[in-house]
A and B are shown apart, each in its own frame.
Chain A
């Protein structure tokens, strides 16, 4: 696309300066620090520092604990993204069809958006508390020998459930506005061309929602990777036995609890590379199928 070039002046730079400064101070500089740190080996008290090249990378990334966390993170992210997108889409489609009391219905569905992840985690913690938790009691009452303190699957179930619940409302808002952006007459034209509502949904509505879905997918994967930290920290804390350790949580634990700054930095650099690769992959291969 050709763009018109106007006379240059410094004012535009002034306008973007705050954003640039924020990116430099809060992202680029810490990232550079992390990269620098990841090559250093420090004793627990910070008295001596040694430059060790890639030893931190080798030590941490090849460890079973890291591989376990990486595996869990991938499965966890895939599940959270897929489930929260799917549920939100279903709810949005249904909410879009509601005529009576539509506003109440929609507002209620959006409420969870206002809850911060750690608070969601705390609420989940209460609900799954073995003594007073209603959900804990309910699941045991229906015959599931449920104990998230001991069983890796049960613990994963808890964090996935809370993470999905928290994210559904955000996705719901975007899907709903996406649905309302589809021209009514296009839907009507489809009604005349296709008898089956299910088929209509997959051939007309869903493709027209693709830009929204794609955007949400990127957002949700980032959410599952990073923001769920608060949920993990307030519920399982990686237990049992590191089965619910996400990569971010492990970075935090090794760095701040384990005082292994070098190893923790190495992990965070790797994490950054993984997310970067994932994002590039999404834009390369999935965005191509998106029609704006």
Chain B
């Protein structure tokens, strides 16, 4: 049984702006779904429609097979964690967490028990009698989650909940959210523009662009098998290397470069070759890394500790998608620290290469 279902959901604002252009989705019980996309793509609007904070222009939203289009937010049995926490500033932590339960007519003892259980789970038990302005960002974040947890809703909604935290805390909270969601087994939707958060949290990921779901699937599925150029370039860090090319015989050509081994591609169309930084290597001896048509002049080496990321200009290539010199990026082991301005051969397996149609962004290979 689908826990949450979106049927052709659309949102048009009164001023004619279209935020969501028809989204279909089925989410199973206990799934952790992440909506990811650039700012303004409609992901937050979609989430707010599920929450009931935005009216649905067209289509239907079903929670446990019940259409909720006209159900008030409080009656939908969903709980939301807001980006800026949205705690009630005049209530204590306990007040914040019990407010929703009080309004739903729970008995006092029961409320206290639920609040204390949730507080223990989130390790905010010591702060129950403090006001939100006496807490740190991370603690407020926990209270916001606590407020959602105590209600034991059918669906959890997270609207970029970690974007106000510093980097270290963000990683910590990310892990905690994941653990908590597993433990509570509640269907969750999480909105973010951070692809690392998206990849690490999601059971399934929906990449949203311009009000549409570009692709939905498991994070690794989207990483290794993106359906469109947009998904390929949005998912993965460092970003996928892209090279605008044309087919000539069995080779892809860009400037003076010719890369062999490509078949069954349209000859007269502009194409884009995509190669992930971790599919490129500096030595030919790795299995399958047969193609070595590419060379870069090293520009910057980023040492991340466990691995190095090398950036450099692709020698002999035409211009990039933005009309600038093409820059490629390679992920290698920590031992590889090439000199700046040195020239490196790049090796890859043609099977790993992706080819997209430039015009529509759809994937050909």
- Using CB atoms and an 8 Å cutoff, list the residues of chain A in contact with chain B: 183, 185-186, 188-196, 199, 203-204, 207-208, 210, 291
Residues of B at the A interface (CB closer than 8 Å) are 51-53, 72-75, 78-80, 82-84, 86-90, 99-100, 103, 131, 147, 151
In the complex, 22 of the A-B residue pairs with CB atoms within 8 angstroms, ordered by the A residue number, are A185-B82, A186-B88, A188-B53, A188-B73, A188-B86, A189-B82, A189-B86, A189-B87, A189-B147, A190-B99, A192-B51, A192-B53, A192-B73, A192-B74, A192-B80, A192-B100, A193-B99, A193-B151, A194-B99, A194-B100, A194-B103, A204-B88
Q: Which of A185, A195, A203, A207 is in CB contact (< 8 Å) with B86?
A: A185
Q: Are A195 and B103 neighbours in the complex by a CB distance under 8 Å?
A: yes
Secondary structure type dominating chain B contacts = loop
| CB pair B82 A191 closer than 8 Å | no
A204 to B83, CA, bound (A): 19
Find out whether the CB atom of B99 lies under 8 angstroms from the CB atom of A185: no
State the main secondary structure of chain A at its contact with B: helix
Partner of B90, one of A188, A191, A207: A207
The residue in A192, A196, A204 that gathers the most chain B C-beta atoms within 10 A of its C-beta is A192
Would you call A191 and B86 a contact (CB within 8 A)? no
Q: Is the CB of A195 within 8 A of B74?
A: yes
Return chain A residues, CB-CB under 8 Å to B51. Answer: 192
Rounded to whole Å, the gap between the CB of A133 and the closest CB of chain B is: 45
**Residues in B neighbouring A190, C-beta threshold 8 A:** 88, 99
B90 touches A291 (CB 8 A): yes
Contact B103 A199 (CB under 8 A): yes
Q: How far is the CB of B215 from the nearest CB of chain A, in Å?
A: 30
Q: Which of B73, B87, B89, B147 is within 8 Å of A191, CB to CB?
A: B73
Bound-complex Cα distance A239 to B73 (A): 56
Asked whether A191 and B74 contact (CB < 8 A) given A185-B83, A207-B90, A291-B90, the answer is yes
CB < 8 Å neighbour of A194 from B74, B79, B83, B87: B74
Instruction: Point out the residues of chain A lying under 8 angstroms from B53, CB to CB.
Output: 188, 191-192
Of the residues A193, A207, A291, contact of B103 by C-beta under 8 Å: A193
> Are the C-beta atoms of A203 and B99 separated by less than 8 Å?
yes
Q: Is the CB of A186 within 8 A of B89?
A: yes
Across the interface, A186 reaches (CB within 8 A) one of B86, B103, B151, namely B86
Measured between alpha carbons, how far is A191 from B87 in the docked complex, in Å? 13
Q: Which residue of B lies closest to A192 (CB)?
A: B73
What CA separation (Å) do A56 and B131 show in the bound complex? 53
Q: Give the residues in chain A near B151, CB-CB below 8 Å.
A: 193
- Say how far A5's CB is from chain B's closest CB, in angstroms: 26
Output the nearest chain B residue to A196 by Cβ-Cβ distance.
B103
Contact A192 to B78, CB < 8 A, known contacts A207-B90, A208-B90: yes
Asked if B89 and A193 sit within 8 Å, CB to CB, the answer is: no
Besides A186-B87, A207-B90, A208-B89, 7 other A-B contacts (C-beta < 8 A)? A188-B73, A189-B87, A190-B88, A192-B79, A192-B80, A208-B90, A291-B90
Chain B, Cβ-Cβ closest to A200: B103
With contacts A193-B99, A194-B100 known, is A188 near B82, CB below 8 A? yes
Q: Which of B78, B79, B88 has the most CB of A within 10 A?
A: B88
Contact status B103-A189, CB under 8 Å: no
State the Cβ distance, B162 to closest chain A Cβ, in Å: 16
A250 to chain B, nearest CB (A): 42
- Residues of chain A within 8 A (CB-CB) of B75 are 195
Most buried by A among B75, B82, B84: B82
Which has the most chain B C-beta neighbours within 10 Å: A189, A191, A196?
A189
A193 touches B74 (CB 8 A): yes
Q: Which residues of B contact A199 (CB under 8 A)?
A: 103
List chain A residues, Cβ under 8 A from B83. Answer: 185
Which residues in B have their C-beta under 8 angstroms from that of A186?
86-89
A203 vs B96: C-alpha distance when bound (angstroms):
11
Task: List, in ascending order, chain A residues with CB within 8 A of B80's CB.
Answer: 188-189, 192
In the complex, A210 Cα to B73 Cα: how many Å?
26
Evaluate contact between B89 and A195: CB separation under 8 angstroms.
no
Q: How far is the CA of A208 from the CA of B133 in the complex (A)?
A: 14
Query: Could you tell me the distance in whole angstroms from the C-beta of B131 to the nearest C-beta in chain A?
Result: 8
B346 CB, min distance to chain A CBs, angstroms: 48
